[in-house]
Amino acid sequence: MTSKVYYSKEITPEKLIEIYQALGVELPGKVGVKVSTGEAGSKGYLKADLIGPLVKSLNGTIVECNTAYPGQRNKASDHLKVAEEHGFTSFAEVDIMDAEKDFKIPVHNGKHLEYDLLGENMKNYDSFINLAHGKGHAMGGFGANLKNQSIGFASRHGKAYIHSCGKTESPILCWTTKYEQKDFIESMAEAAKAVADYLAAENKPIIYITVMNALSVDCDCDSKQGEPVMADLGIVASLDPVANDQAFIDMVWSSEDPGAKELQARIDRQEGRHITEYAEEIGLGSTKYELIEI
């Protein structure tokens, strides 16, 4: 199967709306826009002036879940303060979906995970945009739509369960649990597939957009996030998260920017590219795509 990936080299609020419209999907009802609000001190999170017009045009709500690691976003009251400081409350409501509790969904045929844990408030939405920021990541190699759908949608305890490859739900114990790196990458893919299966069963559409700017080797979850190492690449959008992540990876590898090698090294050190091949293997999407420039 070959999926369609729409691409804009230009990164503007207008292009973000245009690339969303190119997907041809009407998002019904209450729309949840899953972004990373960015840890306090980080720099690369998606900014209000860029994503605000799209979110407002859909009357969308910014949705997030608390972190498993210690920081300024591991409980809802503090998380909301960071979201406000980073400008998200200036254009939309912000819902920390696991503020009160979470719920369990099955992982079908997983090698590592038996289930996933999502924020309870996710049930309140009729459709979603997985709006990711493409960048590096200390543990996963890189973060884009697949990470945003797995670690991102998971509740605090769900994040711990994924990070420990299914061994514990404890946000304390998960950081001392031993696992193979490839197993963690595969656990993220399994969680992302579980979310896709859950939404399909509930007849709730989801679309995928990745903004490839401020390309640091560090994630927005890093309070000491480094400066960008290479030039912006643009925006990609698809109905297939695997194809969209693959397009991001391919652009990083085909870039002639000298700094691209730093991001490539971070990704490969963590076996990050394995996530798309494993996600394809378990039926989440396709690594084969047609790039359509708009």
- Which pLDDT does position 143 carry in this prediction? 97
Q: How many Å apart are CA 98 and CA 117, to the nearest integer?
A: 10
Q: Dump pLDDT digits (tens) for 17-62.
A: 999 999 999 999 999 999 999 999 999 999 999 999 999 999 999 9
With bands split at pLDDT 50, 70 and 90, how would you rate the model's confidence at 213?
very high
Per the CB < 8 A criterion, the answer to whether 88 and 34 are in contact is no
- Which pLDDT does position 142 carry in this prediction? 98
Residue with the two structure tokens 């912000």: 94
- Which pLDDT does position 203 carry in this prediction? 98
Integer CA distances (angstroms), 276 to 107, 111, 244, in order: 17, 16, 10
| CA angle 63–169–285, rounded 5-degree value | 55
Q: Dump pLDDT digits (tens) for 68-86.
A: 999 999 999 999 999 999 9
Residue with the two structure tokens 């997983």: 110
Per the CB < 8 A criterion, the answer to whether 7 and 291 are in contact is yes
Q: Dump pLDDT digits (tens) for 112-171.
A: 999 999 999 999 999 999 999 999 999 999 999 999 999 999 999 999 999 999 999 999
Looking at beta carbons, which pairs linking 269-273 to residues 24 or more positions away fall under 8 Å? 269/141, 270/137, 270/138, 270/139, 270/140, 270/141, 270/181, 270/185, 271/141, 271/181, 271/182, 271/185, 272/137, 272/140, 272/141, 272/142, 272/185, 273/141, 273/249
- Which pLDDT does position 259 carry in this prediction? 97
CATH architecture of the domain formed by 3-293: 3-Layer(aba) Sandwich (3.40)
With bands split at pLDDT 50, 70 and 90, how would you rate the model's confidence at 109?
very high
Q: How many Å apart are CA 213 and CA 211, to the nearest integer?
A: 6
Mean pLDDT (the chain) is 98
CA count, 13 A, side-chain hemisphere, 15 = 18
- Which pLDDT does position 16 carry in this prediction? 98
* Percentage of the chain modeled with pLDDT above 90: 99
- Which pLDDT does position 163 carry in this prediction? 98
Per the CB < 8 A criterion, the answer to whether 241 and 285 are in contact is yes
User: Residue ranges per domain, the chain?
Assistant: 3-293
Q: Count other Cβ atoms within 10 Å, centred on residue 111.
A: 14
Q: How many Å apart are CA 144 and CA 212, to the nearest integer?
A: 9
- Which pLDDT does position 100 carry in this prediction? 98
Q: Dump pLDDT digits (tens) for 185-204.
A: 999 999 999 999 999 999 99
Q: How many Å apart are CA 53 and CA 16, to the nearest integer?
A: 9
